[in-house]
Amino acid sequence: MIDQPLSLPNENNWIDWDALSPAQLELLPEQIQQAAQVSRSIRVADQRWQVYLTALGVLGFEQWIHDRAPELSVQVDQSSIWEPTANLVSAACNVRVGAFKICLISVGSLIDDRVNIPVAAFDLPDFAAHFYVLMQVIEEEEKVAISGFLTYEQYRQMLLTREPDWTYSLPLETFNSDANALLLNLRCLEPTAIRLPALDVTRSSVTLREKLAGLRSQLQTQPAWDLLSVDEGLTLLSDPILLNSLYAETSQPLINAGLWLRNQMDTVAQELGWMLMPVFSPVRSLQEEFDSIRSSLELQGVQIPPSARGAYRSLSSDQGSVRLYVITWVLSEDANQPEWMLLVALGAEPGTEMPSSLTLEIRDETQTLFDQTLEDTNRGVLYAQVVGNWDERFWVTITANEIDVFEIPPFGFAID
């Protein structure tokens, strides 16, 4: 039995790294589609391509293990690349082959002599791996290859400096280019031969939470490493609840209210049972169910312009039924600050009993904008208005009788 990982070959003359190694395979259309879907959930546009390559590398590695070593179990569904973590760490940590933890690093080209690996992949015990496997992805040829590997023990022997973008820069020559050696280690090596760091005490994120409260909007478009230090990044990655609060909502389906202005509806709204409302015009009556709500809103000074468009859906539970109306219109088309209005109102569902009390909450990506309860639904209309830039989104939550909670996917506004 092998007690130590196979050592690196003494090679000074490396192959043409921009050509795929013999340990290669072709990607399937469904694998490409799955990787593309994952990349679209990433908030910062500049990060999406790397996540796309990494996802392809994961799927290719899984297929390679199945083909070359079918006796080994491989699990990729718990990899960090499928989680909100991918917004911060583009490597695929927590891939498993048997009892081994694997971290996959994907690149599109290996013509450079160095490879950047996220600091978290080495320095966070949750992410640390027995083997770090370098994957080369030639996306235009729909091919992927295992191009090298190194162990955690080798990392411990290096003197590396943390880069500002939360990575370590490793010489390419530190990777063993023999994919067969990786397979031999996975088959014969005992996991205990490569000692991984023990789980440490959870880092305190209280101060970081306060800082992030003022950075949420910037994190939508800027890489986190431009706004936080490496240590702050590691603290964030060590707090799943905080991480999810920042990034998990990115993958939620978006209801595009902007399409309503063209009397169109996206697939998400259609699948959730939304129905377009008639055109809002002073000379054309709205559906009878909305007339009383519109009258109540007008008495409170809310005027719905003729250009507005809206949609509605029913929400039913043991507490009763309610009809949710959402109406939108353009406030400003100024290129410097385009704005839109979102009006949310709750009314009765015809022929059914309404909950005795309703709570309406609206929030954006940083804070709660509206939170109010109507204790007696027979004595008024519960509504709210919020204004946003065209790139903002809003989450609506309705609670019936303080028991049943309806969380609506976020509303956005895209008219292009």
For residues 214 and 317, state if they share a domain. no
Please give the pLDDT value at position 1.
Answer: 33
Among 104, 116, 107, 111, smallest CA distance to 169 is for 116
pLDDT band at 304 (very low <50, low <70, confident <90, very high): confident
Please give the pLDDT value at position 283.
Answer: 40
pLDDT band at 252 (very low <50, low <70, confident <90, very high): low
| CATH, residue 75 | 3.40.1350
**Pairing assessment for the beta strands 255-256 and 404-412 based on DSSP bridges:** parallel
The answer to whether position 13 is within a domain reads: no
Please give the pLDDT value at position 205.
Answer: 67
* pLDDT mean over 33-45: 82
Instruction: Look at 75-89, 235-249, 290-304, 393-407 and tell me which has the smallest mean pLDDT.
Output: 290-304
For residues 341 and 329, state if they share a domain. yes
DSSP string, 25-47: EEPPHHHHHHHHHHHHT-SSHHH
For residues 165 and 225, state if they share a domain. no
The answer to whether position 302 is within a domain reads: yes
For residues 267 and 356, state if they share a domain. yes
The answer to whether position 5 is within a domain reads: no
For residues 176 and 69, state if they share a domain. yes
The answer to whether position 2 is within a domain reads: no
Give per-residue pLDDT as tens, 307-333: 888 899 998 888 888 999 999 999 888
The answer to whether position 120 is within a domain reads: yes
For residues 148 and 295, state if they share a domain. no
Q: Which residues span the domain enclosing 55?
A: 24-193
For residues 356 and 272, state if they share a domain. yes
The DSSP 8-state label assigned to residue 302 in this structure reads -
Instruction: Look at 254-263, 271-280, 306-315 and tell me which has the smallest mean pLDDT.
Output: 271-280
Among 181, 120, 119, smallest CA distance to 149 is for 181
pTM attached to this predicted model = 0.60
Q: How many domains does the chain have?
A: 3
Contact indicator for 260, 276 with CB cutoff of 8 Å: yes
Check pLDDT > 50 for residue 13.
Answer: no
More confident residue, 107 or 283: 107
For residues 177 and 34, state if they share a domain. yes
The answer to whether position 16 is within a domain reads: no
In the chain, the percentage of residues whose pLDDT exceeds 90 is: 42
Contact indicator for 288, 312 with CB cutoff of 8 Å: no
Please give the pLDDT value at position 279.
Answer: 66
Please give the pLDDT value at position 8.
Answer: 43
For residues 59 and 141, state if they share a domain. yes
For residues 359 and 218, state if they share a domain. no
For residues 237 and 338, state if they share a domain. no
For residues 32 and 159, state if they share a domain. yes
